[in-house]
A and B are shown apart, each in its own frame.
Chain A
Amino acid sequence: MGEAGSIDIGRFARDLHPMVVHFPLALMLTGLAFEVVAAVRRHAGLARVALLLIGLGFAAALVAVVTGLTNPEVRAVQHTLSVTPPTEPGTRALFLQRLDRIRVHQRLAYGVLLTGALVLLVRLWRGRGRLWTVASVMSGAALAVALIATGFAGGRLAR
């Protein structure tokens, strides 16, 4: 246990993920909102800013996933499960539930990376046809849903 004034590396590693996750959420959701405004006002400059924000948010999402995967709490939960005997079902149930919640959050986070990549690909290769407009709207909506769901699942873990 770290005394006052010392730096606890384990605690820092655990806190890193909650610190980083706000960036992809804020950047990508703001980017998507800017895109809507740019489309309504037909403002090319705003559309470029929106793309930049989504791109930065995607980079932040990569960092968030890496810090999530290296979060020591996941290993701690798995370790505790491995050393808790079956004769203590109450304790095992609590840790199994925690692990389930972590996995749900993990799946959703990978979903954010997938839809984020799709959103950027669509915008990189976007043509003039109606199909591209539909693809842009659909992928943007999917990303927004994935972001909100991941944030919600993560918030449930942090409560």
Chain B
Amino acid sequence: MPAERWRLAATGLLVGVAAVAAVALAAVPPGSSGAPAGVGSGQPDLRIVGRSLTAVGVRYDLARDRVSCALCHARLSTDPFELTSYGADYRELLFRDNPGARSILDASFAEIRTAVAATSRSGLDSDGDGYDNDLELRFGSVPGEARSHPSVPVRVLEGYRRILVAAERDGTLEKLRLAGAGRRPDCADSDGDGVVDCLETLFGFDPGSGSSVSAVRGGRLALYRAALADAGVAAAR
């Protein structure tokens, strides 16, 4: 009988799947994988901690391989609570705006994004190097490290920022992006750090040193360069 045969075939298949699942279930290592006591019962999960970094990265289009937890944590491996000046400011603003939160785990992603935006508000300069946090992150230096800032003078970068903010608002930046301005410019990358020399020079990084590189994605910097050239900035041409 076809129906009976179908039922037997389905039974065979189901028993087979169940047997494989049972073997696989037994093969998953039992208990803890070796996490120290306390981990998993209140300590932050990796992905949750990463939400802050994600929020900064998305806001400024940072390259994932050029930013790390070190943006906020001075020595994550030994003491997760030892923060950089930028991390301390971010933490303070996050908890100031969310007084009910006992830890960062209690903050939603929207609240985290708001705190990241607040930490970048114009004028706040966590490391006191003269380049405010927004300026540093916009062009890719570290806002919690006084030695890390572009070699281009502050007033020049502030001028660039004004042009870029205006270009963002009036849609010029998006038009340029759609026209392909985010492509890699036709110039060399002498230090092989992934950002070409003409972009490094324009935004104040050393094209001859792999350790001096903007954390902003190369495509975004190329787009900035096109917007500056479009606005008549001679150095961007």
- Of B12-20, B89-97, B114-122, B145-153, the segment with at least 4 beta carbons within 8 Å of chain A is B12-20
A7 in the interface, Cβ–Cβ < 8 Å?
no
Q: Say yes or no: A157-B63 contact (C-beta < 8 A), given A93-B36, A114-B25.
A: no
Q: Say yes or no: A124-B7 contact (C-beta < 8 A), given A98-B47, A111-B25, A113-B18.
A: yes
A-side contacts of B25, CB under 8 Å: 107, 110-111, 114
A-side contacts of B10, CB under 8 Å: 120, 124
B237 in the interface, Cβ–Cβ < 8 Å?
no
Cβ contact within 8 Å between A94 and B46? yes
Q: Which of B21, B44, B46, B77 contacts A110 (CB 8 A)?
A: B21
Interface residue total, chain B, C-beta cutoff 8 A? 40
Interface residues of A, dominant DSSP: helix
- Of A21-29, A37-45, A83-91, A127-135, the segment with at least 4 beta carbons within 8 Å of chain B is A83-91
B-side contacts of A98, CB under 8 Å: 45-47
Q: B80: nearest residue on chain A (CB-CB)? A: A90
B33 in the interface, Cβ–Cβ < 8 Å?
yes
Q: Which of B43, B45, B219 contacts A101 (CB 8 A)?
A: B45
Cβ contact within 8 Å between B78 and A101? no
Cβ contact within 8 Å between A121 and B15? yes
Cβ contact within 8 Å between B47 and A157? yes
- Docked complex: B101-141 residues within 8 A CB-CB of A: none
A52 in the interface, Cβ–Cβ < 8 Å?
no
Please classify how large the interface on chain A is, using the bins under 10, 10 to 19, 20 to 34, 35 or more.
35 or more
- Docked complex: A131-159 residues within 8 A CB-CB of B: 156-159
Cβ contact within 8 Å between A89 and B36? yes
Cβ contact within 8 Å between B18 and A96? no
Cβ contact within 8 Å between B182 and A4? yes
Complex Cα distance A114/B80, Å? Answer: 41
- Docked complex: B174-199 residues within 8 A CB-CB of A: 177, 182-183
Complex Cα distance A87/B76, Å? Answer: 12
Cβ contact within 8 Å between B79 and A90? yes
A118 in the interface, Cβ–Cβ < 8 Å?
yes
Q: A110: nearest residue on chain B (CB-CB)? A: B25
Cβ contact within 8 Å between A87 and B77? yes
List 10 extra interface pairs beyond A90-B80, A103-B28, CB under 8 A. Answer: A90-B76, A97-B35, A97-B39, A113-B21, A114-B21, A117-B14, A117-B15, A118-B18, A121-B11, A121-B18
List chain A positions with a Cβ less than 8 A from chain B.
1, 3-4, 62, 87-91, 93-101, 103, 106-107, 110-111, 113-114, 117-118, 120-121, 124-125, 156-159
